[in-house]
Amino acid sequence: MEIATRILNGAFLTPEEAYTLFTDASLDTMTLVHEAYQLRKYYYGHKVKLNMILNAKSGICPEDCGYCGQSREMKEKQRYALIPENQITEGAKVAAENEIGTYCIVMSGRGPSDKEVDHITASVERIKAEHPQLKICACLGLANDEQATKLKAAGVDRYNHNLNTSENYHDEVVTTHTYQDRLETIETMKAHHISPCSGVICGMGETDQDIVDMAFALKDIDADSIPVNFLHPIKGTKFGDMNQLTPMRCLRILALFRLINPSKEIRIAGGREVNLRSLQATALMVANSIFVGDYLITGGQPNQLDYDMIQDLVYEIDYGHAENEVKTQ
């Protein structure tokens, strides 16, 4: 097999090879995990990056994303407007106390108003003054040039805007914005030297080919950080009754993403606990990053279980900006 050795020697998987590896039923998932682990070990050693989410504005969203409990299609239980600055900075304090490397400030909605961006940037300036080591990721939706300029000036390190799915499957997931809209926001952030974080949600009815396409699309946009979400179905959403994932399939997806994006931060994101279940630790042999705490409107597991898992793996917490520290060949 020795795919990892080939990749470490400078080769890249072609889309056709990747599809064959991903779908070949005779190729054991643990063999792929083993290959992916060689790459994870080379680029990140025993380090794990921790991230924490703040849902700074919840629900009240005009978009129709089929996986999301905050969309206009839902009668949200948790809906509130943008929270006050003090609550945003308080969340950063909790993150710093929990050895978190990146604090992710997330807002529901199609994109932020200029007033909301000003509110976020004022909060980020305060956080940077109080916790200069804490990296800040903003996830505010579709954003323009002027907004990116303000976010960069305030000290935002990273912007999350997921591709979510393949270009081919996009319209099955959302109809109120396009795949191209998503790409444009990512490119805008890159143009302002804000580190691009972009990932996917698997288990929404996409095909194996879609999953391979997503991994290559993220390689093409050169995402520094790749959150891989596994659908945690929310009743009442379009995908509320989906049930496509098994722990082994999740591992196979993570291994595929590592083989195609070997040096990138690969984060096991939403749906980790419910989909990987007892294989979460195995998944961290492929991924090098997780969220600690709750997700946007679904709960995570108690923080201590994550710290225990890291200790059991004899891993160490990485506070650094991984994409600036990875080895180059």
Enumerate the known binding-site residues for [2Fe-2S] cluster: 104, 137, 197, 267
Alpha-carbon span 232 to 294, nearest angstrom: 13
- Encoded one letter per residue, x for contact with ligand SF4 by CB under 6 A and - for no contact, window 133-162 reads --------x---------------------
Q: In this complex, which beta carbon is closest to ligand SF4, that of residue 109 or of residue 293? A: 109
Q: In this complex, which beta carbon is closest to ligand SF4, that of residue 70 or of residue 188? A: 70
269 is a contact residue toward ligand SF4 (CB under 6 A): no
Q: Is 159 helix (H, G, I), strand (E, B) or coil?
A: strand
196 backbone dihedrals φ, ψ, rounded to 5°: -80, 125
Amino acid sitting at position 7: I
Q: In this complex, which beta carbon is closest to ligand SF4, that of residue 164 or of residue 280? A: 164
Q: Is 286 helix (H, G, I), strand (E, B) or coil?
A: coil
Stretch near ligand SF4 under the rule CB under 6 A, chosen from 60-68, 94-102, 146-154, 319-327: 60-68
Residue that the structure tokens 């959150």 belong to: 227
> Please, what is the minimum distance in Å from the beta carbon of residue 119 to ligand SF4?
17
Binding residue for ligand SF4, selected from 21, 61, 255, 284, defined by CB under 6 A = 61
Q: How many residues make contact with ligand SF4 (CB under 6 A)?
A: 10
Q: In this complex, which beta carbon is closest to ligand SF4, that of residue 88 or of residue 296? A: 296
Residue 227: name the closest of 49, 64, 16 by CA: 49
Q: Which helix (H) or strand (E) holds 200?
A: strand 200-202
Contacts with 192 (C-beta within 8 Å, 6 or more apart), sequence order:
145, 148, 149, 151, 152
For residues 3-19, one letter each, b for 16 or more C-beta atoms within 10 angstroms of the residue's C-beta and e for the rest, the string is bbeebbeeeebeeeebb
Q: In this complex, which beta carbon is closest to ligand SF4, that of residue 71 or of residue 123? A: 71
> Please, what is the minimum distance in Å from the beta carbon of residue 246 to ligand SF4?
25
70 is a contact residue toward ligand SF4 (CB under 6 A): yes
Give the count of alpha carbons within 13 A of 58, CB side only. 16
> Please, what is the minimum distance in Å from the beta carbon of residue 59 to ligand SF4?
8
186 is a contact residue toward ligand SF4 (CB under 6 A): no
Alpha-carbon span 127 to 124, nearest angstrom: 5
Question: Which DSSP letter does residue 58 get?
Answer: B
68 is a contact residue toward ligand SF4 (CB under 6 A): yes
108 is a contact residue toward ligand SF4 (CB under 6 A): yes
Compute CA 126 distance to the chain's CA centroid, rounded to the nearest angstrom: 25
Q: In this complex, which beta carbon is closest to ligand SF4, that of residue 99 or of residue 294? A: 294
> Please, what is the minimum distance in Å from the beta carbon of residue 11 to ligand SF4?
36
- Residues near ligand SF4, by CB under 6 A: 61, 63, 65, 68, 70-71, 108-110, 141
